Amino acid sequence: MAPVRAGSGNPREQAPRALITAREAGRTLVQIPDVSENLNRDGDGAVFTCPGCGKTGNRLAYGDGGRPLCKCWVCELDYVDALGITVEELLAEPWKYLAEYATGVGSHERKPDALPNEAKVAGWASRLLAEPGLLQRLRRERGLTLETVKQFEIGWCAVKGGYTVPIRNGAGELVNVSWRAPKGQSLTLPSRRSKHRLAGRTAELGMLPLYPDVPPSGPLLVTEGEPDTLLARQNGLPAVTGLLGKQWHSAWDLCIVGRRVAVAYDVAAEEEATKTVEHLLAAGAAEAWVVALGLPMRGDDIGDWFLRYGKTADELRTLIKRARRAA
């Protein structure tokens, strides 16, 4: 099967067999070869809503190298990246991961999922602190110290078998929660409605802000994902992440106006980093530039910088300065 790209235009003309998108009476029916029966058994007629921009009408396709994608037709958010899952997980149980973005047939709005109360968040945090083995594993796999765990309220959800990451806005109000499985494992999602992050709570609505917070002044380092960002913070770097993989959302633009912003995505994501830099400059950043980590393996990230290769925060600062001069 020849790979195709998701994009505008007539999908039937672009990929008559690899991609089928049919619209009937305001409904969107999406099929993927090999997994279409699994997806559409429960999903016929569902309209998919992007977790980034909140728009509907997304479609599934195959990208470069046959990599399965679920891309937003407006902001081009790649769900595989944004959901923090693997291609294999998406292929095995697509509806398990996509159901949270499906509204009812013909519906174009979704009410955001309800938040857990603060007592629940505190309970998750207490559970993790009471489990030395889980704390040790978090330190070993992600490098996070007990101080960092306490400061950012990281917890443990026994139901889903994952770490909990409360997401708060600039006023300190809880607006979202992420669940992350230990490395090499998957979350236990007991129902189709269960998910890795609360659905419908989008960046556009102010419910997916930059994490963990935005320093009031000074330069910023944009990274991928909560663990890498917290590890960078732990090492004294002003790191933030948008929690949408390698995507920057315009809802965060005000945070970077007049500031210097370095973008350090994973190895081999320099193209996406360049797009982010272009957006930041257009949105009013004083300076923005790509920081290529220069690590040997595709997918290596800031976590690997510190934990696998034993590099230091000072070495990373030097790399950031060199990349700025070269930009």
Return the CATH number at 231. 3.40.1360
Are residues 154 and 81 part of one domain? Answer: no
Residue 2 counted as domain residue? no
User: Among 160, 180, 209, where does a domain finish?
Assistant: 209
- Looking at the fold, whether 225 and 181 belong to one and the same domain comes out as no
Flag the least confident range among 7-11, 80-84, 89-93, 250-254: 7-11
Query: Residue 113 — pLDDT band, cuts 50, 70, 90?
Result: confident
Instruction: Say if 214 falls within a structural domain.
Output: no
pLDDT band at 261 (very low <50, low <70, confident <90, very high): very high
Q: For the segment 124-153, what is each residue's pLDDT rounded down to a tens digit?
A: 999 999 999 999 999 999 999 999 999 999
Check whether residue 259 and residue 204 sit in a common domain. no
Domains in the chain, number? 3
What count of other Cβ atoms lies within 10 Å of the Cβ of residue 171? 6
Model confidence at 109, pLDDT cuts 50, 70, 90, reads very low
Q: Could you report the per-residue pLDDT of 31-57, keeping only the tens digit for each?
A: 333 333 333 333 334 455 666 666 655
Give Cβ neighbours of residue 108 (< 8 Å, ≥ 6 apart).
47, 56
- Both 272 and 245 in one domain: the answer is yes
Backbone angles phi, psi at 136, to 5 degrees: -65, -40
Claim to verify: residue 225 and residue 316 sit in the same structural domain: yes
The predicted structure's pLDDT at residue 255? 95
Residue 197 lies in a domain: yes
Reference 298, options 269, 319, 271, 276; nearest CA is 269
72 assigned to some structural domain:
yes
| pLDDT: which is higher, 174 or 114 | 174
Give the residue from 175, 209, 243 where a domain finishes. 209
Bond prior to 227 in cis (omega within 30° of 0): no
Give yes or no for a contact between 52 and 248, defined as CB atoms under 8 angstroms apart.
no
What whole-number percentage of the chain has pLDDT above 70? 65
Q: Are residues 127 and 73 in the same domain?
A: no
Asked if the structure places residue 5 within a domain, the reply is no
Of 28-37, 137-146, 180-189, 246-255, highest mean pLDDT: 137-146
Q: Do 122 and 98 lie in a common domain?
A: no
Query: For the purposes of burial, counting CB atoms within 10 Å of the CB of 176, is it exposed (0-12), middle (13-18) or buried (19 or more)?
Result: buried
- Tell whether 258 and 318 lie within a shared domain: yes
Sign of torsion, CA 279 265 154 197? Answer: positive
Q: Which domain holds residue 175?
A: 112-209
Assigned domain for 4 exists: no
Is the pLDDT at 67 greater than 70? The verdict is no
Identify whether residues 227 and 154 lie together within a single domain: no
Residue 99 shares a structural domain with residue 116: no
Confidence check: pLDDT of 25 > 50: no
Confidence of residue 168 (pLDDT cuts 50, 70, 90): very high
Contacts of 205 (CB under 8 A, 6+ apart): 54, 112
DSSP assignment string, 45-96: T-EEB-TTT--B--EEEE-GGG-EEEE-TTT--BHHHHTT--HHHHHH-HHH
What CATH number is associated with residue 178? 3.90.980
Judged on CB neighbours under 10 Å (0-12, 13-18, 19+), 209 is buried
Q: Is residue 74 part of a domain?
A: yes
> Average of pLDDT values for 156-162?
93
315 found inside a domain: yes
Indicate if 19 and 83 belong to the same structural domain.
yes
Domain boundary among 34, 68, 103: 103
Do 124 and 84 share a structural domain?
no
